[in-house]
Chains A and B, each alone.
Chain A
Amino acid sequence: MEALERIRHDRLVPFDVPGHKRGKGNLELVRFLGEQCLSVDVNSMKMLDNLCHPVGVIKEAEELAAEAFGAAHAFFMVGGTTSAVQAMILASVKSGDEIILPRNVHQSVINALVLCGAAPVYINPQTDPRLGIALGMSMKDVKRTVNEHPNAKAIFVNNPTYYGICSDLKQITQIAHEKGMLVLVDEAHGTHFYFGKGMPISAMAAGADMAAVSMHKSGGSLTQSSLLLCGEKVNVHYTRQIINLTQTTSGSYLLLSSLDITRRNLALNGEEIFEKIKRFANYAREEINAIGDYYAYSAELINGDSIFGFDTTKLSVNTLRLGLAGIEVYDLLRDEYGIQIEFGDLGNILAYISVGDKNKNIERLISALYEIRRLYKKDDKDMLESNYVSPVVVTSPSTAFYAEKISLPLRECTGKVCAEFVMCYPPGIPVLAPGERITDEIISYIQYANEKGCVITGPESMDASKLNVLKGEQYG
């Protein structure tokens, strides 16, 4: 950040890219984004270092970030946490290697497996029948899977899930390390674990090897900026080579400086900020639970195993007893009350509470939920409860993705093997991944989600009316 301010102050004459030359060549963009913003949208140069090969200010900033997060090394990422997740996986497993992971991972994880050809060994997460959401991994399942696949190279953990649920990361790490496996952690929703008080344990504190941290989510940096944290044993130089395989050579200084500024803010004020967020979320939960029919869940779910910890900054609310799908409540909040929340799935909504929130907005959200119950409550007997359907894996994502395939109408896909992803977005967790058997249960799930207004993403056919399936007799 200081280096950028120096550049601005020195009025260096630009004969390099970007071509807008501090905005002077694109006045409409200046009007829209502001002069300040465009004056620091610059190219890498000696004083500003180079993200692909950091030796100066970026290196310093990365070291400061590593220190703030208790990591041995930190990489600034400009391709979203997706790029951090993919770098973690590509740096840890190669074609043919096994990697153990829960099935309720973000699509970026399975995308990485398509790229590198590693074989997933899924641990089906426990599910909560009342909430219809996937939980964490139970230790029994982890131990069994590790014993059955002793040659797996790594184990992948969500910490926390989108809904705020944490597995026993410390014990998983211990078991994995005993077997010589790496521990990779998706902490897209866990930036605050490193700064808040009384939070579930963070990946670096638990001794994990790598973690992908979405600074732009609970941290407050610009969208698409993210961190990849590494533990002591990771080969940093090899990891950088992996990152550089796919990362842009023109890393945006807007994103990089937002990471640096946010790191400083969190290090200085993080504890206070996240205390305030917890207070907001706890207050909102109390009020929402007092309405009736809604269930805003929290740490009372903790069972010492598949829900080892709960992130109380998350405001997740189950809506099933209202007779409304989460996505329906999500749509009503936006269309009727002008309130945009993070997501709605089939049975839950998630409102993201952050440092930017004010009391009065929390009051509006609570009151709107009151109103939705008063005006739209329905009989709850036809609600599809589960958001999670256990997959049947036939072949690896990579094999299926690149194989010969045909397109079939959704209804005729029963028994076939899917060659593409199918997701409800958000949360972006695949219903089907390439290489998985399509069952009647999955087809009715997709149809139901479509009916309730979920956006189905992934398939080539934009409305998911058709799916690509594998060609050939052996695939059904």
Chain B
Amino acid sequence: MDDLWYSEYHTPAVRFSIKVSSQLHHEKSEYQTISVFDSVEFGRFLSLDGVIMLTQKDEFIYHEMITHPAFAVNPQIRNVLVIGAGDGGVLRELARYSYPQQIEVVEIDRRVVEISKQYLPQTACGFDDPRVRLYFEDGLKFVRRRENAYDLIIVDSTDPFGPGEVLFTREFYGSCIRALTEKGILINQHESPFYKNDAKEMQHAHRCIAQVFPVSRVYQAHIPTYPSGHWLFGFASKGLEPIKDLQSDCWNNMKVATRYYNTDLHQGAFYLPNYVKELLSNG
């Protein structure tokens, strides 16, 4: 077999490589470069602009952690807005709940959805949920027209360097708080605290959210294929607290099948290492 390796630069001086068995797709869409590979260790994976978005092997960690904590705090979530999520993974997790009536998805790049449906059935099955309404639009533009409309907004974006940049701005978070109901929760992927440049973006995002939301907390998960493996998520709300308001029994009674998330881990995930706490308070 050919000795083919896919490499992603986690910093200019750190490279993360996966042995590739074949490349299935490559194209330049209007917004970004989209590639799909098969790999020996991680199964099929999707990369955007040279950055791994998900692999078959570890995507469950990311998608469970970006979806379930909000439902364990407010099990009565009815209206959900998902921004990004072109691979469908978040939708697959949302499909485990019967309470939501409407799930709106805003993805800027139509091609990501089309390619995911073609190559990534493991996550793209999420689009089959009849409650899902899909919009191909700019997320910022979509959300600024909404008021008091959602109980949950999930921002499943790319890094803040490409088309995802607008989803890390104060004007975006401001539009979100307006679009959320009184018990609304905003969950976003919050970058990594480990490498310097990622940490800067992480601090910036936290600063912007904290300026807008009365409650803004950060929780962590371990995702092997993301830079440093140490990844953060943001939990912001108008009052709901992720630990104090956790409804463990209620969530456990729903018997949602998960491989990573549980309500004990939920509490632990919000206890952060000291260096991360420092970064957040110095942001």
Contacts and interface: CB of A to CB of B under 8 A. Distances in A.
Contacts of B171: 337, 364, 367-368, 370-371
Contacts of A337: 169-171
Interface in B160-207: 163, 165-166, 169-172, 174-175, 178
A287 B142 CA distance: 12
B138 A359 contact: yes
Given A337-B170, A359-B138, A367 B165 contact: no
Contacts of B124: none
B145 to A, nearest CB: 9
Contacts of A374: 174, 178
Contacts of A287: 141
B144 interface: yes
Nearest to B138: A363
What secondary structure prevails in chain B residues at the interface with A?
helix
Contacts of A366: 141, 144
Nearest to B172: A367
A363 B175 contact: no
B174 A364 contact: no
Contacts of A359: 138
Contacts of A409: none
B117 to A, nearest CB: 25
A211 B175 CA distance: 45
B140 interface: yes
B140 A367 contact: yes
Given A367-B175, A374-B178, A360 B138 contact: yes
A339 to B, nearest CB: 8
A304 interface: no
A336 B138 contact: no
A367 B179 CA distance: 13
Given A336-B170, A360-B138, A367 B144 contact: yes
B137 to A, nearest CB: 10
Given A370-B175, A371-B175, A374-B178, A363 B141 contact: yes
A338 interface: yes
Interface string B122-140: 0000000000000000101
Nearest to B169: A364
A363 B174 contact: no
B161 to A, nearest CB: 12
Contacts of A367: 140-141, 144, 166, 169, 171-172, 174-175
Contact of A371 (B138, B141, B170): B170
B140 A375 contact: no
Interface in A354-390: 359-360, 363-364, 366-368, 370-371, 374-375
Contacts of B172: 367
Per DSSP, chain A at the interface is helix
Contacts of B166: 360, 363-364, 367
Interface string B151-163: 0000000000001
A367 B163 CA distance: 16
B140 A371 contact: no
Contacts of B138: 359-360, 363
> Which interface residue of A359, A360, A363, A370 has the most chain B CB atoms within 10 A?
A360
Nearest to B143: A367
Interface in A261-295: 287
A375 B173 CA distance: 13
Interface string B13-56: 00000000000000000000000000000000000000000000
A370 B170 CA distance: 12
Contacts of B163: 360
Interface in A337-360: 337-338, 359-360
Contacts of B169: 337-338, 364, 367
Contacts of B141: 287, 363, 366-367
Given A337-B171, A375-B174, A370 B144 contact: yes
A202 to B, nearest CB: 34
A364 B173 CA distance: 11
A370 B145 CA distance: 9
B147 to A, nearest CB: 10
Instruction: Tell me which of B163, B166, B171, B178 has the highest count of chain A C-beta atoms within 10 A of its own C-beta.
Output: B171
B178 A364 contact: no
Nearest to A368: B171
A86 to B, nearest CB: 41
Given A337-B170, A367-B171, A371-B170, A360 B178 contact: no
A363 B140 contact: yes
B62 to A, nearest CB: 24
A363 B140 CA distance: 7
Contacts of B140: 360, 363-364, 367
A374 B174 CA distance: 9
A364 B170 CA distance: 9
A360 B144 contact: no
Nearest to A291: B144
A371 B174 CA distance: 6
Contacts of A336: 170
Nearest to A369: B171
A444 B174 CA distance: 36
A336 B144 CA distance: 17
Interface string A135-170: 000000000000000000000000000000000000
B121 to A, nearest CB: 31
B164 to A, nearest CB: 10
A360 B169 CA distance: 11
A185 to B, nearest CB: 39
A394 to B, nearest CB: 49
B105 to A, nearest CB: 18
6 contacts: A287-B141, A364-B171, A367-B174, A368-B171, A371-B170, A371-B171
Report, nearest first, the 6 A-B pairs whose CB atoms are least far apart. Answer: A367-B171, A371-B174, A368-B171, A363-B140, A367-B144, A360-B166
Given A287-B141, A359-B138, A360-B163, 16 more contacts: A336-B170, A337-B169, A337-B170, A337-B171, A338-B169, A360-B140, A363-B140, A364-B140, A367-B144, A367-B166, A367-B174, A370-B144, A371-B171, A371-B175, A374-B178, A375-B174
